[in-house]
Amino acid sequence: MNTTITQIQLFRGRLAFMTGDPDISGKRALSFFPDGILAVKGGFVIEAGSAAELSGRFPADIPVTDFGSKLIIPGLVDAHVHSSQTLIIASYGEKLLEWLQKYAFPEEDRHRDFEYARLSARLFINELLRNGTTTANVFTTVHPHTADLLFEEALSKNMRLIAGKVLMDRNAPDSLLDNPEKSWSDSAGLIRKWHNRARLGYAVMPRFAITSSAAQLGVAARLLRDFEGVWMHTHLSENLPETALVQKLYPDCSGYWNVYEHHGLAGPKSVFAHGVHLDDNEFGRLGASGSSIAVCPSSNLFLGSGLFRFGQAGKHGIKLGIGSDIGAGTSFSVLANLSEAYKIARLGDVSITPKKAFYLATLGGAAALSLDNRIGTFKPGFEADFTVLDPGADPLLQKRTTGAATFSDLFFPVMMMGDNRIIHSTWIMGVPCYKAPTSPAQSAAS
């Protein structure tokens, strides 16, 4: 597809977006217009505000797409997900290291087959869009063609997406291993081909310290030095047996975080998935390096990995995003993952406010991926990726949100009860890329 619409487009409905972190900017961080207009030109936001103020500013002959009481929000951001694990979602009964051996590695091995990898990439991108996710930070497999095919699929939708090939040279089946030399040449080739092409970005991706030798972590650091602007993406401190094994494999490092720090992999464009078992000192050093954490709530519950310490992460001012972590996570929906995040935080006596949750799913997620100068909000000049939520698509959610007086009154039940059922449509730079099928009952009622 990859169409650009050059004329002005006007979208009307309930409109909400964050312009900052509510923990820093307070009330000013949220813009909410019960009757709002989002104006887009050439795929970029030109204005967003109240309909009363904006409707007179544009020529009357510009058609308006009116979403009524549906909620227009910036496209959701998935800060950590595996494109090659869609078909092992909900795999029974194991913890992380056993789950990898029993389910994840065999499924990733199936991606050796080009056609399988192509269909898998297509299924994955469709699932993102069906769940209102317009940007994702994506793990693929060790095979360079899996990254190629994913980038091609994202390019066909003009998505802003970060991905790369996985680096792993030990502690996995032989068929899934590369080596430091090959990981350098394959990654360099993919970076030259894909980084900064259209809206795509490349992340150097050592899977985790267990499956990368020190030599391979060194290669990852060299790629970051030699190719300016690429991201770093890996797993960190997800469960206790994993953390203990890392300490055994890297006895000279003072802990899991120190392995990455020591090998030059920390920094403002580094994203670490999980961080469940980090201690305060590690949180502090991670925060000081400018790195961010992709919190993966449904995955951490499903695998029994542990409870992310939102309170401690907040004290250290760490940039956080929400990761679905499919296939260990149980839902592609960032909303459903917010619901699990809220419950995990409650167990640590923290309440994530509806505004903070909305921030994490949009502008905060973008900031965690260093993309908050392009996406995640509706400031003029930003890329017009947006999602339209329909709380009325679920009868109980409709009843629960009718008459909501404030954004928080509306969004809290939406995030606690909502998922792909309430995605009305997903738009990439003003172009519709997913529309929910209308059921015969809904058409009769409307």
Binding positions for ligand GUN, 218-247, rule CB under 6 A: 235, 238
Out of 81, 104, 335, 344, name the contact with ligand GUN by CB under 6 A: 104
Decide which of Zn ion, ligand GUN, none touches 355; Cβ closer than 5 to 8 Å per partner kind.
Answer: none
11: left (phi over 0), alpha (psi -120 to 50) or beta: beta
Q: Which stretch binds Zn ion (CB under 5 A): 16-24, 58-66, 158-166, 324-332?
A: 324-332
Q: Which stretch binds Zn ion (CB under 5 A): 44-52, 169-177, 268-276, 361-369?
A: 268-276
Instruction: Closer to ligand GUN by CB, 326 or 352: give it.
Output: 326
Judged by DSSP in three states, 200 sits in strand
Handedness of CA 321, 428, 426, 11 (dihedral sign): positive
Among 162, 164, 120, 122, which Cα is nearest to 140's? 164
Residue 129, CB half-sphere, CA atoms under 13 Å: how many?
A: 24
Binding positions for Zn ion, 219-248, rule CB under 5 A: none
Number of residues that bind ligand GUN (CB under 6 A): 11
For 4, residues 6+ apart whose C-beta sits below 8 A from its C-beta are 42, 43, 158, 429, 431
Contact map string, positions 16 to 55, toward ligand GUN, x by CB under 6 A: ----------------------------------------
Q: Which stretch binds Zn ion (CB under 5 A): 35-43, 86-94, 270-278, 434-442?
A: 270-278
Decide which of Zn ion, ligand GUN, none touches 414; Cβ closer than 5 to 8 Å per partner kind.
Answer: none
8 Å CB contact between 137 and 428: no
Binding positions for ligand GUN, 157-216, rule CB under 6 A: 207-208
Out of 299, 337, 362, 426, name the contact with ligand GUN by CB under 6 A: 299
Q: Which residue intervals of 34-177 are DSSP H helices? A: 51-54, 96-99, 105-110, 114-130, 144-156
Question: Least Å distance between CB 410 and ligand GUN?
Answer: 32
Out of 242, 325, 385, 419, name the contact with Zn ion by CB under 5 A: 325
Question: Least Å distance between CB 442 and ligand GUN?
Answer: 36
Question: Least Å distance between CB 329 and ligand GUN?
Answer: 8
State the helix-helix crossing angle for 144-156 and 180-194, rounded to 10 degrees.
10
Decide which of ligand GUN, Zn ion, none touches 238; Cβ closer than 5 to 8 Å per partner kind.
Answer: ligand GUN
Per DSSP bridges, beta strands 292-295 and 76-82 are unpaired
CA distance 15 to 49: 8
Q: Which stretch binds Zn ion (CB under 5 A): 5-13, 269-277, 390-398, 419-427?
A: 269-277
8 Å CB contact between 14 and 34: yes
Out of 109, 186, 325, 372, name the contact with ligand GUN by CB under 6 A: 325
Residue 328 interacts with ligand GUN (CB under 6 A): yes or no: yes
Question: Least Å distance between CB 251 and ligand GUN?
Answer: 20
Out of 12, 14, 82, 319, name the contact with ligand GUN by CB under 6 A: 82
What DSSP element (H or E) covers 273?
strand 270-274
- Among all chains, which residue has been given the structure tokens 């050059």? 6
CA distance 322 to 133: 11
For 256, residues 6+ apart whose C-beta sits below 8 A from its C-beta are 209, 236, 237, 243, 246, 247, 277, 278, 282
Judged by DSSP in three states, 352 sits in coil
Q: Which stretch binds ligand GUN (CB under 6 A): 69-77, 96-104, 278-286, 333-341?
A: 96-104
Question: Least Å distance between CB 101 and ligand GUN?
Answer: 11
Question: Least Å distance between CB 386 and ligand GUN?
Answer: 29
| C-alpha distances in Å from residue 444, one per residue of 428, 439, 440 | 29, 9, 6
For 281, residues 6+ apart whose C-beta sits below 8 A from its C-beta are none
Question: Least Å distance between CB 239 and ligand GUN?
Answer: 8
8 Å CB contact between 84 and 112: no
Decide which of ligand GUN, Zn ion, none touches 159; Cβ closer than 5 to 8 Å per partner kind.
Answer: none
Instruction: Closer to Zn ion by CB, 80 or 356: give it.
Output: 80
Decide which of Zn ion, ligand GUN, none touches 207; Cβ closer than 5 to 8 Å per partner kind.
Answer: ligand GUN
State the helix-helix crossing angle for 144-156 and 114-130, rounded to 10 degrees.
40
Contact map string, positions 245 to 284, toward ligand GUN, x by CB under 6 A: ----------------------------------------
CA distance 124 to 83: 6
Binding site for ligand GUN (CB under 6 A): 82, 96, 100, 104, 207-208, 235, 238, 299, 325, 328
Binding site for Zn ion (CB under 5 A): 273, 325
